[in-house]
Amino acid sequence: MKTIPGPDAFSQTLKNDARKYPNREDERYDDFMFFPAIEPSFSIGRDETVFTIGSCFARNVEKFLLDHNVTVPTAHFEAPHEEAPGNPNRVLNQYNPGTMMQVVEAAGQTPDKRAIYGGLTGSVVDCLLATGGRAVSKSRAMERRQQISDLYGAGLGASQTVIITLGLIETWYDKQDELYLNEAPGVRFVRKNPDRFEFRQMGYEECSSVVNKMLQRLTDLGKKVVLTVSPVPLQVTFSGGDAVTRNAYSKSLLRVVAEQAATTFDNVDYFPSYEMVTTGGFRSFGNDNVHVRPIVVERIVRYMLDAYLR
């Protein structure tokens, strides 16, 4: 709970030029989108390295960071086309706070075989990555895990700033391996192991706990963090009901967690990319109503860099 003495509340509010919700004459409004006023608590040098963690929206952000000559280690990771058609680093996508926390904690370590599940033909699927269920050989699965662990180890080590895009609160959990999963195991494998897996719709306490654990790790490493919520909606829900209402709940909870985290950690800023995209309505999205139009991503990244870049 946030409390302010009555007189101070009036004084602070009168000094706040952004206190009123913007109408269409407000400078924060432009072309059917709002660009909320932000006050960065730190800056990013143009010669710094920025590490990105998140889903497809984070991948889009990488492209425009590169266009501004910012060094972004994750943008250069490439998986073979058959593993990542269309985008060679899509396997880096992390969707829920649990897997984001796990990959930060495992950075630079030798990976183990947990959450790698065998297929009928001897191939395996790695449910800690965004593979779309694409199977590979066991040796390739371990090789790829080591490549990503090395990327996180070296990339985080070289980075001064980390941009984290929280995606959703729905996740699968492997009770045997004690791991959050990035993708659901195959339905046949789940049915063969009925007591091993469970679906979780993370609540506030669990979600806040894993986000804070991840941020504490990055704080201990001396990193500055820009925390955002992805505007990309939940595409399929396992929690029952309509995906539209489940998505609204997911984003709302993540937004609360992000606010709490930015208040708790001095080195963490919240950046309102979610608010910017959603105030633009369906104009902000492609025909699938899921992926944000590149021109909108570019405007948002430019707005962020104008505020943060020295």
Give me the mean pLDDT over the 4-23 stretch.
92
120 pLDDT tier (thresholds 50, 70, 90): low
174 pLDDT tier (thresholds 50, 70, 90): very high
Quick: pLDDT tens for 109-119: 999 999 999 86
Number of structural domains (the chain) is 1
- Is 160 among the domain residues? yes
- Which CATH number goes with the domain that contains 35? 3.40.50.1110
- Is 296 among the domain residues? yes
179-181 and 170-174 beta bridge pairing: antiparallel
- Is 248 among the domain residues? yes
108 pLDDT tier (thresholds 50, 70, 90): very high
What Cα–Cα distance (Å) separates residue 300 from each residue in 36, 179, 227, 277?
11, 33, 14, 8
> Does 55 score more than 70 pLDDT?
yes
- Enumerate the β-bridge partners of residue 228: 165
> Does 200 score more than 90 pLDDT?
yes
Q: Identify the pLDDT of residue 281.
A: 94
What mean pLDDT is reported for the chain? 93
Quick: pLDDT tens for 216-275: 999 999 999 999 999 999 999 999 999 999 999 999 999 999 999 999 999 999 999 999
Query: What's the rounded Cα separation, in Å, for the pair 200 and 205?
Result: 13
- Is 30 among the domain residues? yes
- Is 178 among the domain residues? no
- Is 150 among the domain residues? no
Q: Identify the pLDDT of residue 119.
A: 63
* 77 φ, ψ (degrees, to nearest 5): -75, 135
- Is 196 among the domain residues? no
- Output the six-digit token pair for 132: 């779309």
Choose between 158 and 68: higher pLDDT: 158
- Contact by Cβ (8 Å): 126, 115: yes
198 pLDDT tier (thresholds 50, 70, 90): very high
Q: Which domain holds residue 269?
A: 22-107+155-169+203-308
Q: Identify the pLDDT of residue 177.
A: 95
Quick: pLDDT tens for 57-105: 888 888 888 888 889 999 999 999 999 888 899 999 999 999 999 999 9
Q: Which of 33-37, 83-87, 299-303 has the lowest mean pLDDT?
A: 83-87
- Is 175 among the domain residues? no
Q: Identify the pLDDT of residue 193.
A: 93
